[in-house]
A and B are shown apart, each in its own frame.
Chain A
Amino acid sequence: MPCVILLDVSLSMSRPVLECESYQRRNLAIHGINVLLDHLAATNKLEFVSLVVFSSLWERLVPFTRDYDSIKTALNNVEDYDKTCIEPALAGAASVIVDEWGSAVPSQVILITDGNTGLGPSSLKHSLQTIGQRSGGEDRFSLPFTFPCKLHIVTISGSQDPELQTSLNMFQRLIDINGQGGQLFVPEGSLSLKSVQQMFRELSEKYFSPLLRVLRCGNLHCNVNVFPAPTDYDRPHDFQHVYKELFREIAICGFLDISDVASPPFISRHLVLPTSSTREKPEELKVDSEKGEAKEDDEDDTVDGRTPAFTVLLHGSLKVEGMVALAQIGEGWYGMLYSWADSKKKSNLMLAVFEPGVDSIPWLGELNHLAPMSSFKQSPYGEEDNKTPFPVRPPDRRSYSQNCVVWIKQAGLQADIQKILRHARKLPEKQLQFYKELNRVRRAALSFGFMELLDALSAMLDRECTLLPGTAHPDAALQLSHASNALRSETARDYAQNVVPLTTNFSSGD
């Protein structure tokens, strides 16, 4: 997940460190950031990082990039500014993320500062005191973030700093207000190159390590790195708090055609990259070949490249057949694997994670009730593969797909009346349609308690009867006056009883 490094560059950061005079706090912070960047370069090269520095103002020094060296270079040229103002800095980090990724992508912000939280109205203390008096809108406190985001706060501060404890309490409060995870990091023991390094290593390993999983399809399996790491689901729903943990395995349950899954909504997408099965081997290799590391890397690549991986097979077949694999990723929690190509036509295996629950995709039915096609007597896909059991239809139809009646606007009623008239003029050919429409309007009028309409309709049919041309079929006049009388009668008030055509000498010939 994308990460903003929010570095304090106020004057206080250039205070020398007591224990080793040659370093300023800022140097230690930069050293720590380098530890993090090196960790990413080694394990998670796809992670995007942006560098934002702040004092009383904030500035995005490096936009989101995977080129960690550019951040390292920028860090070397950071200057000193005035005082620490944390609240606007957090707002700055938020806008950097939202502008780039929108508000759906889970992200992380690492705030790196000394324990100094500023003075006066721009101080963190003041921000926290006034938090209850905000009116919202522009004035809103920048936390909690309006998008999924962890907030880590890393203090470059010795434990003997007098004001540290007060600051730590405030920092913890910030993390709590955000309430989306994150951690407060304080160097252990005295402030030194080593303790800072250790602190950043802890941060890197805990929050920036690749997520290793096993992709399994029956007995076929493959170790994979899922990027970006999916997170456990933890959200309140209408009636329950839903907490779902991810399984260690991504277990394929079966397959579906792309046209059947039909662009289902998902909460996140992740690349599924096979990891080297020979993870442990490089150590041994190094002993053997001390001559050239570059060469050894190459060899390692080819060994990996030539060992068949299940992901590659799966990806290839999914792509060729235009299918997706339905996979279980947690208790009652599913996702789908499919071949995804970016704009440059580089394709890879992708995992889309659905909303937890078995009914997250209505048109697939309950996901845990999907059965193998072999368990049906007749293939649900047809003998010649020309059918599909999807989509699953809901028990009742929506208003737009059935014959509902809405007369709120005059035009609706007028159109229905016109339809009756049109059929009336073509009697007796359109007798069936005439009575069908007539009954439909009659029933709606009964439901709405619109009895005036029945009388009006009856009057109109009477008039139509008089307007019939001389060439009209004699049955037309009979049916019209019959219908008109029927509308006035008591039986017309019975919802269940239809007005039926008059049986005439003419109709028997039909």
Chain B
Amino acid sequence: MSYPHSHKTVFVLDHSPQLSEPSSQPVDFDIFNKTRGPGIIPLAPVMKTLWTCNVEAAVEYCRIVYDLFPTQKLVRFITSDTKATLLNSWAQDEQSVNQLMLRFATIGQPNVRQNQKNCSIMHGLGQAVEILCQPTTKQHEIRTSFTEEASTVLNRGRIICMTLINSDAHIRMLEDCVLDTLIEHNKLTASSDNLIPIHHCELELIHVVPYGEKSAVTSSPRRELSPLLASETHVTQSGRYVAIRLVELVQKHFGLFSTTVTGIPMKEEQNASSSANYDVELLHSAEAHGELLKSDKEGMIVPSKEGLNTQTVALKWCTPKSNTIELQNCTGAHRITPVDVYSRPSSCLTNFLLSGRAVMLEQPRKSGKIMSHMLASHGGEIYIHILNTARSILEDPPSISEGCGGRVTDYRITDFGEFMKENRLAPGRTQPRDSTLPIDKSKSQLERMTRLWPMVIGDTIIFNMLSHLDPLPSLIVKEHLDNDEVLECKKAIYHVVGMESRNEPLPVPALGTRGKGPKREEQYRQMWAELDSFIRGHISSSSQHQKVLECLLECRRPAEDGSKGKKQTDRGSIKEEKMEIGETDLAVKELERYQRLTEREKHDLNKAEKSSPDSPPAKKFKGKSDLISKPSAGPQSLLTLWTNRIRATHAMRHQEFAGRLQSSGSKAELYPHMNEENGGDPASGAANTGMNINKNIKKQT
């Protein structure tokens, strides 16, 4: 744990009248009159004050910090004249350049009417120590966490003070002021829960003299004044030199390094047909050049081209060839920001990258080309990606086809592709009432969707006939099913029942089977078994899922205890009974009717289906199989076929006696409802068809 000083930075800016002195570096702003003919006298250059230059430099320091480290690197500002004024807090939403610009506008330039004698930078320095004792959100988080780090968190910070210094004695005085306040505040914090003692502080004193003037004090290197405080003094001229010095300091304070992208082709503003090459210098974490900084063998580290007193790595621009998206072998990505964000080449480069293109950067080496970095933007932030240039230990890997399962050719690649698409992720939020993390929801969704997921085509029938089963497979894997969805599932099952009754071929994979393969009857048996286990895998999800399985079992029951022939007969007779309605339609109608029942009735009905002979769906098959009284197994005889045909023809001509339809044997019981329901509607006994009975049930509700 490094507990870096850079976590907390406090700028103390001298806001006393002496700062309204001019910086002595004139700014020519009226220079665009050449083309407007002679006779125009340019307006006199304006002069920034020392204050303006200091604010510009400090804001630039912050711009770089906030661009590269949007969180956890916090900067606060204090201005000091007759009193100290705080411009922002440690809160994340007050950490932005826009916020600062607003606050600086409120504070305005130094008030020349104030008496310099009443002003002191000490106010600001004292305040700076005080706010360093205030914990940041991150520090608070760790201190209140129940980890071992909670008690060991070190509070380190840095004070950057921009002021005018008269003498070396003045420096000592400022240092002593900070040190005394530090010791004093550390004592105070001992008795406070909200404040934390400062374990170490770095003080950077920056003495700014107007441009071209000599300074009475000289820069002094870092000295450890006490175990609590280290101090360093910088002397710089005002104007743009103070900004340059602060950019150098920000690099040192935050462990930054610079990359210069060389040879960027850009169209000329005046002459769009020609293009010239530009260089743009970028700042980023020094980690982006970790490898190179350890050993610069080819002399790629050169002095900065932006006039900074620092070094940079020159990398060559490679014009992107196409927009092909591929995964790069990327071992790190760090945010970047241009050194000179306001220049045209910089904004050309950043706009190009923000538009979504990625640029490879090449190390200019004597031996061959090496792409060592890539610039790309993600969500409006530009990153430098480090590409691995060393030999990979994964070279010459075995091909996937050489390993286990590599020779199998009928994987359901496309189906799994669809599966992956359905299981894509998207950024979500945890619902306040929901303690499950979204990612865990995703995992449980994967679990549900893979309860039966055959990997190869040859292992499955149902997943090769999805067009027939739709939408059951996609519905049943859901966590919850509503009534409509249950209905859809049942429809799908009835559809397949219909297929079977019409003896339609199943799309059984031909793979691995020589000759004819299993008989159709066997195929259907396998298919039903697979569908059964598929649905069964989900019955634990909800009672609605259970209903789908019940429906399947219902349809399967006759097939289980009867032969195919018998089944066909049954279905045939139903069809003829309801000539005008298709089988599926009938099923749907029954279902709809079932849906309309109350829970209680459904329950009764279900129970009745199992026990009582007069419940319509179950008795239908049973009753008739006895009525027809044909052998319960084996192929159909010619006689049976003939009888069935005759019977069917007859059935068309008259309506079957309801009592017989419902009876379990050849004897039909009359008025069964009389016994069942005391004082029930006697008409129900005389009901003609199953449908009528149902109507009666409805009436009773």
Q: Mark A302-322, 1 if CB is under 8 A from B, else 0.
A: 101111111111111110111
* Chain A residues in 8 Å Cβ range of B109: 449, 451
> Known interface pairs A312-B411, A321-B420, A443-B105. Does A448 touch B56 (Cβ–Cβ under 8 Å)?
yes
* Chain B residues in 8 Å Cβ range of A390: 379, 426-427
A218 within 8 A of B: yes
B46 within 8 A of A: yes
* Chain A residues in 8 Å Cβ range of B391: 100-102
- C-alpha spacing A37/B648, complex, angstroms: 82
Q: Is the CB of A371 within 8 A of B428?
A: yes
A495 within 8 A of B: yes
* Chain B residues in 8 Å Cβ range of A446: 104-105, 108
* Chain A residues in 8 Å Cβ range of B342: 404-409, 411-412, 415
Q: Is the CB of A317 within 8 A of B1?
A: no
B654 within 8 A of A: no
Selected from B346, B381, B425, the residue in CB contact (under 8 A) with A256 is B425
Q: Is the CB of A456 within 8 A of B147?
A: no
Residue among B344, B379, B419 facing the most chain A CB atoms (10 A cut-off)? B379
Q: Is the CB of A444 within 8 A of B1?
A: no
Q: List 30 A-B contacts (CB under 8 A).
A: A46-B393, A104-B388, A218-B446, A218-B449, A239-B3, A239-B153, A252-B446, A254-B425, A271-B394, A307-B404, A308-B408, A312-B408, A316-B411, A326-B425, A348-B398, A348-B403, A369-B427, A369-B429, A371-B439, A373-B423, A374-B422, A396-B98, A398-B335, A398-B380, A400-B347, A408-B342, A409-B240, A415-B344, A449-B55, A449-B104
Of all chain B residues, the one with the shortest Cβ separation from A398 is B67
B406 within 8 A of A: yes
Q: Mark B382-416, 1 if CB is under 8 A from A, else 0.
A: 10011011111111111111011111100111101
Q: How many residues of A contact B (CB 8 A)?
A: 143
A485 within 8 A of B: no
Which segment of A53-61, A72-80, A182-190, A359-367 sits at the interface?
A: A359-367
Of all chain B residues, the one with the shortest Cβ separation from A46 is B397
A283 within 8 A of B: no
The binding surface of chain A is classed by DSSP as: mixed
- C-alpha spacing A274/B100, complex, angstroms: 56
A394 within 8 A of B: yes
A246 within 8 A of B: no
Q: Mark A398-431, 1 if CB is under 8 A from B, else 0.
A: 1111101111111111110110010000000000
Which segment of B322-330, B497-505, B621-629 sits at the interface?
A: B322-330
A257 within 8 A of B: yes
Q: Is the CB of B48 within 8 A of A452?
A: yes
Q: Is the CB of B32 within 8 A of A258?
A: no
- C-alpha spacing A275/B398, complex, angstroms: 13
The A203-230 residues at the B interface (CB cut-off 8 A) are 217-220, 228
Q: Mark B433-477, 1 if CB is under 8 A from A, else 0.
A: 000011111110111111101011001000000000000000000
> Known interface pairs A314-B416, A408-B240. Does A342 touch B395 (Cβ–Cβ under 8 Å)?
yes
- C-alpha spacing A316/B341, complex, angstroms: 45
Q: Is the CB of A313 within 8 A of B413?
A: yes
Q: How far is the CB of B307 from chain A (nearest CB, A)?
A: 9
Nearest 10 interchain pairs by C-beta: A309-B405, A102-B390, A371-B428, A218-B450, A449-B109, A371-B438, A391-B379, A363-B378, A305-B407, A218-B446
The B197-242 residues at the A interface (CB cut-off 8 A) are 240
B102 within 8 A of A: yes
Selected from B57, B101, B331, B437, the residue in CB contact (under 8 A) with A447 is B101
Q: Is the CB of B29 within 8 A of A346?
A: no
Q: Is the CB of A265 within 8 A of B430?
A: no
Q: Is the CB of A349 within 8 A of B450?
A: no
B350 within 8 A of A: yes
- Given A240-B142, A448-B52, 12 further pairs, Cβ under 8 A: A98-B295, A253-B443, A264-B330, A269-B329, A306-B405, A363-B381, A368-B438, A369-B429, A381-B424, A392-B379, A414-B32, A448-B55
Q: How far is the CB of B131 from chain A (nearest CB, A)?
A: 19
B30 within 8 A of A: yes
A370 within 8 A of B: yes
Q: Is the CB of B70 within 8 A of A400?
A: no
Q: Is the CB of B290 within 8 A of A103?
A: yes
- C-alpha spacing A412/B52, complex, angstroms: 15
Q: Is the CB of B420 within 8 A of A325?
A: yes
The A464-504 residues at the B interface (CB cut-off 8 A) are 467, 493, 495
A16 within 8 A of B: no
- C-alpha spacing A495/B102, complex, angstroms: 7
Interface, chain B (partner A; CB < 8 A): 1-4, 7, 27-32, 36, 40, 43-44, 46-49, 51-52, 55-57, 59-60, 63, 66-67, 70, 72, 96-98, 100-102, 104-106, 108-110, 138-139, 142, 147, 149, 153, 240, 243, 290-291, 294-295, 325-333, 335, 337-338, 340-344, 346-347, 350, 354, 358, 374, 376, 378-382, 385-386, 388-401, 403-408, 411-414, 416-417, 419-430, 437-443, 445-451, 453, 455-456, 459, 478
A372 within 8 A of B: yes
Q: Is the CB of B337 within 8 A of A399?
A: yes
A52 within 8 A of B: no
> Known interface pairs A240-B1, A266-B331. Does A103 touch B294 (Cβ–Cβ under 8 Å)?
yes
Of all chain A residues, the one with the shortest Cβ separation from B326 is A258
Q: Is the CB of A399 within 8 A of B445?
A: no
Q: How far is the CB of B107 from chain A (nearest CB, A)?
A: 8
Q: Is the CB of A307 within 8 A of B426?
A: no
Residue among B46, B393, B437, B455 facing the most chain A CB atoms (10 A cut-off)? B393
* Chain B residues in 8 Å Cβ range of A450: 46, 48-49, 52
- C-alpha spacing A316/B380, complex, angstroms: 33
Q: Is the CB of B49 within 8 A of A277?
A: no
Q: Total contacts A to B, CB within 8 angstroms?
A: 433
Q: Is the CB of B381 within 8 A of A370?
A: no
Q: Is the CB of B56 within 8 A of A408?
A: yes
Q: Is the CB of A363 within 8 A of B379?
A: yes
* Chain B residues in 8 Å Cβ range of A312: 400-401, 403-406, 408, 411
A259 within 8 A of B: yes
A276 within 8 A of B: yes
Of all chain B residues, the one with the shortest Cβ separation from A278 is B404
The A224-243 residues at the B interface (CB cut-off 8 A) are 228, 236-241
Q: Is the CB of B404 within 8 A of A449?
A: no
> Known interface pairs A313-B455, A398-B67. Does A404 touch B97 (Cβ–Cβ under 8 Å)?
yes
Q: Is the CB of B47 within 8 A of A452?
A: yes
Q: Is the CB of A410 within 8 A of B28?
A: yes
Selected from B30, B67, B149, B447, the residue in CB contact (under 8 A) with A417 is B30
Q: How far is the CB of B268 from chain A (nearest CB, A)?
A: 16
- C-alpha spacing A412/B60, complex, angstroms: 13
- C-alpha spacing A266/B327, complex, angstroms: 11
Q: Is the CB of A371 within 8 A of B43?
A: no
A18 within 8 A of B: no
Q: Is the CB of B350 within 8 A of A400?
A: yes
* Chain B residues in 8 Å Cβ range of A463: 40, 43
Of all chain A residues, the one with the shortest Cβ separation from B459 is A308
A105 within 8 A of B: yes
* Chain B residues in 8 Å Cβ range of A309: 403-406, 408
Of all chain B residues, the one with the shortest Cβ separation from A360 is B333
* Chain B residues in 8 Å Cβ range of A261: 327
* Chain B residues in 8 Å Cβ range of A1: 393
Q: Is the CB of B439 within 8 A of A348?
A: no
A282 within 8 A of B: no
- C-alpha spacing A349/B398, complex, angstroms: 10
A146 within 8 A of B: yes
* Chain A residues in 8 Å Cβ range of B347: 400
Q: Mark A430-466, 1 if CB is under 8 A from B, else 0.
A: 0000000000000110111111110010011001000
* Chain B residues in 8 Å Cβ range of A348: 397-400, 403
Q: Is the CB of A307 within 8 A of B379?
A: no
Q: Is the CB of B386 within 8 A of A265?
A: yes
> Known interface pairs A312-B411, A452-B46. Does A397 touch B380 (Cβ–Cβ under 8 Å)?
yes
Q: Is the CB of B400 within 8 A of A311?
A: yes
Q: Is the CB of B46 within 8 A of A219?
A: no
- C-alpha spacing A241/B1, complex, angstroms: 6
Q: Is the CB of B327 within 8 A of A324?
A: yes
